Amino acid sequence: MTGERNDLESPEPRGHDAAHSLFRPPGEPVREIPPHLYGRWKHDPLLRVANVFFSTVIPTFSHLMRPRQLAEPDRSRELRVIKREIVAHDKDVVALTLAPADDQPLLRWTPGAHLDLLLPSGRMREYSLCGDPADQETYRIAVRRIPTGGGGSVEVHETLHVGSTVSIKGPRNGMPLAVPGYGSPAKRIRFVAGGIGITPILPMMIAAERLGLDWSMVYSGRSLDAIPFIPEVERFGDKVEVRTDDVHGIPSGADLIGATPEPTALYTCGPIPMLETLRKGLIGRTDVELHYERFSAPPVTDGRPFTVTLDKSGETVSVAADRTMLAAILKVKPDAPYSCKQGFCGTCRVHVAEGAVDHRDNTLTPFERQHGQMLTCVSRAAGDHLTIDL
């Protein structure tokens, strides 16, 4: 009955309550229902039924009917670290389990998805979700500490502890798993992970196993000490081969691709040399479809050297033919924003004040390009020089 009382005791009666208030002393709350919907004095039985319904059923279920704000991948939200585990023997990989810091549910995700972490320093970094996609209560990411990197991984290791909160965007999926027979002509799946590249692959293995798919996996790395999640990978038994460079040598394309008795979808994530070995091994192979995610910038091809001037500081840097413009900028401005280094997140976007651009991304719209936007991680100068607003 709480809902009814609150409504009728409102100091600003409306509609029929307002009319009824003419027959009661000012300030006295309305405690009776109006007798008839159309203002007659005779009691309307339908109105009585409606009043009983609205005063009992709706308050009883109102907590279920309250609209909940839906989370959106493009909106940032706060998550709390509820678990922190070291998941590699060398102690350089930490897995963080994140739960909502508010009462909003987490967005569902599919294997291959990642989160954007908005770190306290202002850096944004992308990390693949590496937990169980069926878990609707938490997300899990894993981060390898790279002391010589851009500072994001070190910041995660040093500042995110159990109880810390962190802003995220996403999840988003840039490498979705297509189930053989449903959107993929393949009959089986081969997973190839290198080092921390295991993170997007782990949920795929869980999903493949759960769906009863025909799959196998090779997991490579420098040494057993350096590769994370060994116990989680080994529980899949002989479907998984763990091979390390110090024991087995650098794997060949054939080692990575494995036996392919039937059309195969190959999903991989790892360092560039491993991806390059795979790419070469798959030349001419029409029976294997390749899905990959790299965790570092793609090599620059067909680059020409040029110079770029940072408008705000007036500094001019040289960009070598085989280096990215972002790498050159970071040398003089280490806090320049970036995340994916692959031309799809848009974090490194700058405005070009002068010079023509050789756009090499698939992210910016023609409108954005016409208005002087460019992505420094992949795009370059079309001529000898650019001036950018940075």
191 vs 216: CA distance, rounded Å: 6
Q: How far is the CB of 141 from ligand FES (least distance, A)?
A: 18
Pick from 97, 216, 220, 347: which binds ligand FES (CB under 6 A)?
A: 347
113 vs 100: CA distance, rounded Å: 18
Q: Is 338 in the site for ligand FES (CB under 6 A)?
A: yes
Q: For ligand FES, which is the closer residue by CB, 127 or 191?
A: 127
Q: Would you call 383 helix, strand, or coil by DSSP?
A: coil
Q: Is 339 in the site for ligand FES (CB under 6 A)?
A: yes
Cβ neighbours of residue 357 under 8 Å, at least 6 residues apart? 369, 374, 379, 380, 381, 382, 386
With contacts defined by CB under 6 A, name the span among 135-143, 181-189, 219-227, 344-352 that binds ligand FES. 344-352
158 vs 96: CA distance, rounded Å: 12
Of the candidates 136, 133, 126, the one whose C-alpha atom is nearest the C-alpha of residue 202 is 133
Q: How far is the CB of 375 from ligand FES (least distance, A)?
A: 5
Side-chain-side CA neighbours of residue 50 (13 Å)? 10
Of the candidates 124, 136, 129, 243, the one whose C-alpha atom is nearest the C-alpha of residue 193 is 243
* Residue at token pair 């970094």: 125
Indicate the pairing of strand 188-194 with strand 165-173: unpaired
Q: Is 295 in the site for ligand FES (CB under 6 A)?
A: no
**What are the helix (H) ranges across the chain?**
2-8, 15-20, 45-65, 152-159, 198-210, 230-234, 245-248, 253-257, 272-281, 325-332, 366-370
Q: How far is the CB of 203 from ligand FES (least distance, A)?
A: 23
Q: How far is the CB of 336 from ligand FES (least distance, A)?
A: 10
Q: How far is the CB of 76 from ligand FES (least distance, A)?
A: 17
Q: Is 348 in the site for ligand FES (CB under 6 A)?
A: yes
Of the candidates 200, 191, 257, 183, the one whose C-alpha atom is nearest the C-alpha of residue 219 is 191
With contacts defined by CB under 6 A, name the span among 62-70, 196-204, 208-216, 333-341 that binds ligand FES. 333-341
Q: For ligand FES, which is the closer residue by CB, 146 or 282?
A: 146
Q: For ligand FES, which is the closer residue by CB, 123 or 157?
A: 123
Residue whose C-beta lies closest to ligand FES? 377
Pick from 271, 298, 346, 372: which binds ligand FES (CB under 6 A)?
A: 346
Of the candidates 301, 341, 294, 291, the one whose C-alpha atom is nearest the C-alpha of residue 321 is 301
Q: How far is the CB of 153 from ligand FES (least distance, A)?
A: 15
String marking each residue 31-50 x if it binds ligand FES according to CB under 6 A: --------------------
Pick from 93, 186, 201, 340: which binds ligand FES (CB under 6 A)?
A: 340
Asked if the bond preceding 171 is cis, omega within 30° of 0, the reply is: yes
Q: How far is the CB of 346 from ligand FES (least distance, A)?
A: 5
Q: Is 375 in the site for ligand FES (CB under 6 A)?
A: yes
Q: Is 341 in the site for ligand FES (CB under 6 A)?
A: yes
* Residue at token pair 């972490």: 117
Query: For residue 286, what are its two tokens?
Result: 């029409």
294 vs 288: CA distance, rounded Å: 18
What part of residues 128-187 is at the interface with ligand FES (CB under 6 A)?
none
Q: Is 297 in the site for ligand FES (CB under 6 A)?
A: no
Query: Binding residues for ligand FES, per CB under 6 A?
Result: 338-341, 343-348, 375, 377
